């Protein structure tokens, strides 16, 4: 890609920091400026070579930038985009990294107004158990899927720039409508998180919780790993994607009721058939996935 | 432990084979004889040094044995125990490795009759994705929990022998009543398996399954890993532990309904509180577990 002059990263945590490191390694930009509400995170980011320069605010970071990456929680997107909009050049491109997209697209329309066509909603499918700039890594997005959800109003050159930047640091970019994105991730990500939180929450509330956890093993460990995720982030995602998530919870409840009924009736063949379908789908996915991330 | 003269392993798959290898390494017995309905598995077991000798039937294997380990699916336990009972010495001890215990204890009473006091139901909490004697490993049970569920009728010396044998190959033995075992594992193992099977089954049945799976990532991978488990085994476990599992599905459904209601009402603080409780319980468990398996 043509080297950019200035990239602004708003929020230098795990995702923003990793984007900056990847962009630096791929020589995406001559200079990377960072902004964060936590001054210590910014100092660490400079010390770790994640950013070149500290900006005191999103608008200061956005001044003169070719590309502004907002790597902040979705609940902070309103104020951040408003501030970015005060100073960004007309030709600048803005993107985000949030896990829900319909609401972000709406916030961008409200806050960026006539510049909303320069905003490309984005969602890199990568993460770690840990957070913060100290966990950032240049290769976090290597081979990771990145979903962009432009609308028909989004400027094509803005989409191209964001796509090219992600590809430069190793991402595999796919375009989806925001509603399709939110529906898909409600099913394959948001629902499993709620299901895992619900299981651990149920067990932890019992009088014999200590005994129960004492016998939990490897299957439980993997099934509930995502229940150790950030409650703030998953509270937000659950509410931001409420309608799609509720629909998924209801569909899931119906399927679980089918399993319950088969167990209650002692229907071995019926149970085995559903379990076999699940196993073969899960195995096929695991195999495809192993190939696709090679 | 005092070295045994003859240990019989009925079923030389992953679990039976690993027990045999571990017992051999710990010099638990002067000789290990194996029986299996699959002649090829027996040939492999001899070739791999897992067993010393092939027996043509469970009763032939049990003849003259000090300890008989039945490592067969619970559904095969009836015929196996009946056959073992035909030839086992009065002083021999019999145990199993099944995932449910109330039903196994009942089968043993029915099939072993006056020798039922020599039967010690057991459940080693270890496994692998793979199965078969080629996957067997002497250290599979190193540090693993092994639950024994003797009744008040079980001979104390039989419990001691089984405990000592498991400890010799690295197991950490705990005693539980069969009902307590089944209740606990319904919550921390059987329920999560059914929940994971239900999720994959639901998604796989949709018209857009391919697209959905295409966007599934690491959280989905871990949450659904157990949905790639053996349908036959989990069908059996679900039905063998039916009452306890149904109770767990219902409790879980109630807790999921609470989460659903909080999402539907947009109750951020309520959602965050439950998610925080879950995260802190999950993290505390992960930490304790890391320490306990060191």
Where is the domain boundary, A137, A161, A176?
A: A176
Q: What are phi and psi of A251, to 5 degrees?
A: -60, -45
Contacts of B209 in chain A (CB under 8 A): 281
Contacts of B263 in chain A (CB under 8 A): 194, 238-239, 242, 245-246, 249
pLDDT at A164: 98
Closest-CA distance of chain B to residue A104, Å? 18
Q: Is A242 in the same domain as A284? A: yes
Give the closest residue to B142 by CA, choosing from B177, B168, B120, B117: B168
A264·B271 Cβ contact <8 A: no
Contacts of A291 in chain B (CB under 8 A): none
**Is residue A222 within 8 angstroms of chain B, CB to CB?**
yes
Interface of B with A in 125-144 (CB under 8 A): 125-127
Q: Is B254 in the same domain as B219? A: yes
pLDDT at B291: 57
Contacts of A126 in chain B (CB under 8 A): 217
Rounded to the nearest integer, the mean pLDDT of chain A is: 95
Q: Is B158 in the same domain as B271? A: no
A200·B282 Cβ contact <8 A: yes
Q: Work out the end-to-end distance of chain B between its first and last CA atoms, rounded to an integer number of angstroms.
A: 24
Of the pLDDT bands very low, low, confident and very high (cuts 50, 70, 90), residue A131 is confident
pLDDT at A293: 47
If you average pLDDT over residues A195-203, what whole number do you get?
97
Interface of B with A in 181-210 (CB under 8 A): 184-185, 187-189, 191-205, 209
Interatomic CA distance for residues B288 and A7, integer angstroms: 44
Q: Is A157 in the same domain as A251? A: no
DSSP three-state, residue B285: helix
Is the pLDDT at A168 greater than 60, yes or no? Answer: yes
If you average pLDDT over residues B27-48, what whole number do you get?
97
If you average pLDDT over residues A1-25, what whole number do you get?
96
Closest-CA distance of chain B to residue A18, Å? 18
Is the pLDDT at A224 greater than 50, yes or no? Answer: yes
**Paired strand residues for B145:** B172
pLDDT at B131: 83
Is the pLDDT at A294 greater than 50, yes or no? Answer: no
Q: Is B193 in the same domain as B156? A: no
pLDDT at B151: 95
Interface of B with A in 15-74 (CB under 8 A): none
Residue of B nearest to A189 (CA): B220
**Is residue A259 within 8 angstroms of chain B, CB to CB?**
yes
Q: Is A20 in the same domain as A133? A: yes
The domain total for chain B is 2
- CA trace torsion B216, B218, B223, B228 (10° rounding): 70
Interatomic CA distance for residues B146 and B166, integer angstroms: 7
pLDDT at A1: 79
pLDDT at B273: 98
Is the pLDDT at A165 greater than 70, yes or no? Answer: yes
Is A2 a member of any domain?
no
B231·A276 Cβ contact <8 A: yes
Q: Is B208 in the same domain as B104? A: no
Contacts of A252 in chain B (CB under 8 A): 198-199, 202
Lowest mean pLDDT among A120-129, A233-242, B23-32: A120-129
Q: What is the CATH number of the domain that holds B219?
A: 1.10.3660.10
Q: Is B21 in the same domain as B151? A: yes
A213·B281 Cβ contact <8 A: yes
If you average pLDDT over residues B73-101, what whole number do you get?
97
If you average pLDDT over residues A6-20, what whole number do you get?
97
pLDDT tens profile B239-273 = 999 999 999 999 999 999 999 999 999 999 999 99
Where is the domain boundary, A126, A143, A176?
A: A176
Task: Give the dihedral sign, CA B205/B209/B213/B219.
Answer: negative
Q: Is B189 in the same domain as B169? A: no
**Paired strand residues for B53:** B33
8 Å CB contact between B32 and B51: yes
Q: Is A58 in the same domain as A23? A: yes
Q: In this prediction, what percent of chain A has a pLDDT beyond 70?
A: 98
A194·B228 Cβ contact <8 A: no
Q: In this prediction, what percent of chain B has a pLDDT beyond 70?
A: 98
Is the pLDDT at A106 greater than 80, yes or no? Answer: yes
Closest-CA distance of chain B to residue A89, Å? 34
Is A217 a member of any domain?
yes
Lowest mean pLDDT among A214-228, B44-58, B162-176: A214-228
Compute the 3-state secondary structure of chain A and give helix, strand, coil in percent, each to the nearest 5.
Answer: 60, 10, 30
Of the pLDDT bands very low, low, confident and very high (cuts 50, 70, 90), residue A157 is very high
pLDDT tens profile A252-273 = 999 999 999 999 999 999 999 9
Q: How many interface pairs between A and B have CB atoms less than 8 angstroms apart?
A: 263
If you average pLDDT over residues B85-107, what whole number do you get?
97
Of the pLDDT bands very low, low, confident and very high (cuts 50, 70, 90), residue A129 is low
Domain that holds residue A147: 7-176
Q: In this prediction, what percent of chain B has a pLDDT beyond 90?
A: 94
- Residue predicted with more confidence, A79 or A127: A79
Tell me how long chain B is.
294
Q: Is B68 in the same domain as B158? A: yes
CA neighbours within 13 Å on the CB side: how many for A80?
23
pLDDT tens profile A30-75 = 999 999 999 999 999 999 999 999 999 999 999 999 999 999 999 9
- Interface-testing mutation among B176, B185, B202, with chain A (most A C-beta atoms within 10 A): B202
DSSP state of A29: B
Where is the domain boundary, B176, B192, B207?
A: B176
pLDDT tens profile B59-69 = 999 999 999 99
Q: What is the CATH number of the domain that holds B70?
A: 3.40.50.720
Supply the pTM of this predicted model.
Answer: 0.92
Q: Is B43 in the same domain as B15? A: yes
Complex prediction ipTM: 0.92
Q: Give the burial string for B231-248 (b: 16+ CB within 10 Å, else e).
A: bebbbbbbbbbbebbeeb
Lowest mean pLDDT among A3-7, A290-294, B26-30, B74-78: A290-294
**Is residue B168 within 8 angstroms of chain A, CB to CB?**
no
Is A1 a member of any domain?
no
Q: Which two tokens stand for residue B133?
A: 């004697």
């Amino acid at each position: 890609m043509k080297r950019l002059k200035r990239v602004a990263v708003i929020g230098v945590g795990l995702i923003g920091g990793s984007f900056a490191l990847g962009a630096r390694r791929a020589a995406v930009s001559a200079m990377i400026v960072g902004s964060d509400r936590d001054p210590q995170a910014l100092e660490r980011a400079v010390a770790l070579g994640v950013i070149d320069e500290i900006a005191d605010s999103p608008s200061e970071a956005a001044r003169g930038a070719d590309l502004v990456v907002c790597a902040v929680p979705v609940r902070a997107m309103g104020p951040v985009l408003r501030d970015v909009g005060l100073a960004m050049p007309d030709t600048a491109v803005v993107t985000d990294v949030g896990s829900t997209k319909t609401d972000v697209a709406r916030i961008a329309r409200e806050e960026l107004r006539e510049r909303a066509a320069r905003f490309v909603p984005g969602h890199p499918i990568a993460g770690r158990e840990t957070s913060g700039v100290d966990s950032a890594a240049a290769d976090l997005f290597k081979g990771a899927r990145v979903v962009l959800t432009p609308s028909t109003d989004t400027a094509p050159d803005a989409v191209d720039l964001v796509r090219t930047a992600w590809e430069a640091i190793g991402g595999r970019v796919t375009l989806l409508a925001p509603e399709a994105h939110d529906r898909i991730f409600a099913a394959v990500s948001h629902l499993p998180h709620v299901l895992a939180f619900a299981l651990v929450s149920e067990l932890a509330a019992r009088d014999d919780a200590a005994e129960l956890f004492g016998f939990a093993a490897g299957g439980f460990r993997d099934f509930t790993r995502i229940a150790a995720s950030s409650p703030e982030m998953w509270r937000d995602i659950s509410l931001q994607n409420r309608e799609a998530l509720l629909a998924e919870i209801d569909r899931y409840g119906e399927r679980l009721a089918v399993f319950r009924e088969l167990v209650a009736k002692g229907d071995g063949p019926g149970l085995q058939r559903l379990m076999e379908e699940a196993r073969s789908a899960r195995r096929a996915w695991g195999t495809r996935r192993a190939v696709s991330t090679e």
